[in-house]
Structure 1
């Protein structure tokens, strides 16, 4: 299986794409840079995990992806609280981020059984 075929990678790419499309309206460059980087990190680390040689390395990069999900979740909440994100956008992104990190957690748990 290729990472491009994985639903989790496709969902993470979709979320990152949405963040990039929306972020052009955010005037605070520091926040915009941080939220796009966190969003981009999730699918990037999922892809990198598939290019690793060992299960341990693969799991490590999936863990990075999951951690970036936590970072992104926090930034979405802050973005909503300070008025950078409208409620509907924030709600949708929070839901998708939570789903992605939950799936990554299950994948990590399963991979660790083989380690």
Structure 2
């Protein structure tokens, strides 16, 4: 029996954990535009997994999984910028980027597991 709900997907669980870390890391930043954008990017990773899961075909699900990887890449780009702007220290930035890379790898594995 396969996965019955998106909440059971490791990719979704890890993406949610990453979003929580991003929310906490940038909670006190006064650059509201940056803070809101990095939060939106982090939320989009898990939301696209969830939305795609309940689509009618594996092809649709894969399309949303690719959107999710794109959001993870946007998040990583913003983390590099956050480090350059001294919004986050290098260790925290590296840890969050590593977690975003992990989520992307898990999503890629999920994509590869889906039948064409």
CA RMSD in angstroms comes to 1.1
Shift of 1:7: 1.5
Aligned to 1:56: 59
Q: Distance in 2 between matches of 1:99 and 1:22?
A: 18
- 1:96 and 2:92 are equivalent in the alignment: no
The size of the alignment, in residue pairs, is 113
Shift of 1:25: 1.7
Of Structure 1 and Structure 2, the greater helix share is in 1
After TM superposition, the structure 1 = structure 2 runs for residues 1-115 of structure 1, keeping only pairs within 5 Å, are 1=3, 2-111=5-114, 114-115=115-116
TM-score, normalization: structure 2? 0.91
| CA distance in structure 1 between the partners assigned to 2:109 and 2:27 by the alignment | 33
- Give the superposition deviation at 1:20: 1.0
Q: Which moved more, 1:86-95 or 1:33-42?
A: 86-95
Q: TM-score, normalised by structure 1?
A: 0.92
Residues 83-92 or 30-39, more deviating? 83-92
